[in-house]
Chain A
Amino acid sequence: MLYREAGQFKTTYAADQQIFPIRQDRIGLALLLAIAFVAVPLFASEYWLKAILMPFLVFSLAALGLNILTGYAGQLSLGSAAFMAVGAFAAYNFMLRVDGMPLLVAFALGGLAAALVGVAFGLPSLRIKGFYLAVATLAAQFFIVWILTKVSWFSNYSSSGVITAQDMEIFGYRFDSPESRYLLVLAIVAVMALMAKNMVRGSVGRAWMAVRDMDVAAEVIGIRIMYTKLLAFAVSSFYCGVAGALYAYAYLGTVEPEGFNLDLSFKILFMIIIGGVGSISGAFLGSAFIVLLPIFLDVLVQDVFAGVFSPSIASNLQLMVFGGLIIFFLIVEPHGLARLWQIAKEKLRLWPFPH
């Protein structure tokens, strides 16, 4: 079937405002979801599920969160990992201290706790922007990790703040197997991605973008800057918080505050730069890229160039490739992989008659 929109006429505004106005895109997404929900759990190996797909999904969610704040609302944050930490530790404590706390409610509460902390650290954004704000979010990054390490109540008095996530159980079903965990995370991420898409295409998203593009004009139009920015911080941190909870419960099982360090924050920032700033699909593309690249580089150094480079060079090579790619994308395609994909689709729509 050719990728064409000819013959697809929109007769209502509702039809015109669909997420995917072109029929082929809708079919494509349905296929993708079918593969993700049915084929992958059936055929993927344990390694793929645990070491690639799980981090991919969790980081996609965190990148979605950061993209809402940075890509849509234009507030640069270097503290995403800290908000993930809040989500993970809050979910852990709700599970630990409240009898019979349902798992999904604990995740949501973890997200809400992160949202509250996010709003608190977002308050400075009302007075400062740009790299000033970036430095302010560094305060969140260092402070939160410090307090989670120092106050041992948060980790139930374990040494050096390590927490071990409780078993995941919903209505008596235990999520033990990699497949079941994968499906749980996939479902949560899919629903939250859809909600994010709905927000950014609605008036909330337009308010965010308006504040990003020109805050004075936004205010003159009637947008409450304070509310809009803080809402972006809240929603973004909620997403990061839930991602953090999933990171602890579904992906690693055992985490410590130091695991949510500045490096992880940068990693998530890189995902949205490479995937596409201000794009929902970009969060997924960027996450896939950043998860797969180190694996690819390892293979390259150890197998293809075995003996040419020492293995220790792989990690430095990774730093250089990450850094280089960030610069490359910012120069060549500031809207990232998502934009490249879009351009490819636009070309395809007209192919083979480009004019």
Chain B
Amino acid sequence: MQFFLEVLIGGLLSGVMYSFVALGFVLIYKASGVFNFAQGAMVFFAALTFVGILEMGVPFWGALILAFGAMVLLGIGTERIVLRPMVNQPPIALFMATIGLTFFVEGLAQAMWGASVRGLDLGIQDEPIEWMMETTGIGVSKFDLFAAGVAAVLVTALALFFQYTRVGRALRAVADDHQAALSIGIPLQTIWRIVWAVAGFVALVAGLIWGARNGVQFALVFTALKALPVLILGGFTSVPGAIVGGLIIGSTEKLAEVYLGAYVGGGIDSWFPYVMALAFLLVRPEGLFGEKHIDRV
């Protein structure tokens, strides 16, 4: 039982990581209807840029600000160069364009900062919390708990931002109906730029935490792909869905690996989330929190 709990908690906390990436997807999908495959690459780009700037001798906060600046630039560039010319194309074409963007951003990041694996120290150790270990016997990593805390803060901040700021309201209007928002004078392109910048910020946070956990390396891109099943579970348009979906994927993946993996030679976490999402799709195609869509003829 203790072991089960430990695996479950470990899984939930690593699920938080997936939620980070899924959050970025949801923001962009809500605001512009674009399924941004490049979100994972943006996480990689952000982490690598941050570490690269840090290595140049810039202090932590300075590097954070500069990396955020780079993400904003990337977001604005994407809006200007990719999204705007493709405004009337079918969603699937935009999706493919973001696959192209993925390759471009990955190449750009490594061309700028090199392809070697770097460590990243945020000052929080990846070790069990002592008092919990002593009282309950369950090992929970300090770092994972910290990551969960950051996620909570980030989601709260985003929720407040959407609910109470002018930009947030405009964003929700755009998400609801592009044409209507445009017709009451909401500047669509500005909103898109802001959303891409915010998604860039989310990617930066995700990149820092992932980088500190697993090292800043190309493999981040593949781990980030797991945000896709998370989205299918949670629904493309729901922020809570991204969080809950991440937790479900993270925990089931770990549980499956520990309890089933032994029988089939391990490594099933490479595909388990996808197959689970697939099974889920057949039952509830709109996701846990998504809206049901009826085709009209």
The answer to whether A and B come from one shared complex is yes
List which A304-331 residues lie within 8 A (CB) of chain B. 312-313, 316-327, 330-331
Quick check: A319 and B107 within 8 Å, CB to CB? yes
B278 near A139 with CB under 8 A, answer yes
Tally of A interface residues using CB under 8 Å: 40
Give, as a whole number of angstroms, the nearest-CB distance from A315 to chain B: 8
Contacts of A111-134 to chain B: CB distance below 8 A = 124, 127-128, 130-132, 134
Q: Is B123 an interface residue (CB 8 A)?
A: no
Question: Which residue of B100, B231, B268 has the most chain A CB atoms within 10 A of its CB atom?
Answer: B100
Interface string of A182-207 (1 = CB under 8 A from B): 00000000000000000000000000
What residues on B are CB-neighbors of A317 within 8 Å? 107, 111
Q: A139-B274, A312-B115, A318-B107 are in contact. Are A323 and B102 (CB under 8 A)?
A: yes
Contacts of B131 in A (CB 8 A): none
Q: With A150-B264, A320-B111, A330-B100 as given contacts, are A135 and B285 in contact (CB-CB < 8 Å)?
A: no
Any chain A CB within 8 A of the CB of B265? Answer: yes
| A146 & B268 in contact (Cβ 8 Å cutoff) | yes
Interface centre among B111, B231, B278, B282 (most CB of A within 10 A): B278
Given contacts A143-B275, A330-B89, contact A135 B232 (CB under 8 A): yes
B286 → A minimal CB distance (Å): 10
Measured CB to CB, the closest approach of chain A to B70, in angstroms, equals 16
Contacting chain A: which of B78-86, B152-160, B185-193?
B78-86
Partner of A320, one of B108, B225, B229, B264: B108
B163 in contact (CB, < 8 A) = no
Once the chains bind, are A319 and B281 in contact (CB under 8 Å)? Answer: no
Q: Write the B222-236 contact mask toward A (1 if CB under 8 angstroms, else 0).
A: 100100110110000
Evaluate contact between B96 and A139: CB separation under 8 angstroms. no
List chain B residues, Cβ under 8 A from A235: none
Interface of B is mostly: helix
Cβ-defined contact, B103 with A320, below 8 A: yes
> Could you tell me the distance between the alpha carbons of A320 and B96 in the complex, rounded to whole angstroms?
15
Q: Check: A76 CB closer than 8 A to any chain B CB.
A: yes
B274 proximity list for chain A (CB < 8 A): 135-136, 138-139, 142-143
B278 lies within 8 A of A136 (CB): yes
| CB of A252 within 8 Å of the partner chain | no
Given A139-B277, A320-B108, A327-B104; A146-B271 close (CB under 8 Å): yes
In the complex, which residue of chain B has the Cβ closest to the Cβ of A321?
A: B107
Chain B contacts of A134 at CB under 8 A? 95
Count of A-B contacts with CB under 8 A? 125
The answer to whether residues A326 and B103 also contact, given A131-B35, A142-B271, A334-B89 and a CB cut-off of 8 A, is: yes
Question: Given that A216-B295, A320-B108 are contacting pairs, would A132 and B270 also be in contact in the complex, using a CB cutoff of 8 Å?
Answer: no
Residues of A214-243 contacting chain B, CB below 8 A: 216
Contacts A127-B282, A131-B35, A138-B274 given: A327-B228 contact, CB under 8 Å? no
Instruction: From known contacts A76-B95, A319-B107, A322-B103, infer whether A146 and B270 are also in contact, taking CB-CB under 8 Å.
Output: yes
Question: Contact at B100–A324, with CB atoms within 8 Å?
Answer: yes
A81 in contact (CB, < 8 A): no
> Which listed residue (A124, A127, A130, A319) contacts B103, Cβ 8 A?
A319
Question: 28 pairs across A/B with beta carbons < 8 Å?
Answer: A127-B282, A128-B281, A128-B285, A130-B95, A131-B95, A132-B281, A135-B228, A135-B229, A136-B278, A136-B281, A139-B271, A139-B274, A142-B271, A146-B271, A216-B297, A269-B96, A273-B96, A316-B108, A319-B106, A322-B100, A323-B102, A324-B104, A327-B97, A327-B100, A327-B104, A331-B85, A331-B97, A334-B89
Q: A residues near B, CB below 8 A?
A: 76, 124, 127-128, 130-132, 134-136, 138-139, 142-143, 146, 149-150, 216, 262, 266, 269-270, 273, 312-313, 316-327, 330-331, 334
Supplied contacts A322-B103, A327-B100, 7 more A-B pairs, CB within 8 Å: A124-B278, A135-B278, A146-B271, A319-B104, A320-B104, A320-B107, A324-B100
Residues of B in contact with A (beta carbons under 8 Å apart): 35, 81-82, 85-86, 89, 91-93, 95-97, 99-108, 110-111, 115, 222, 225, 228-229, 231-232, 264-265, 267-268, 270-271, 274-275, 277-278, 281-282, 285, 295, 297
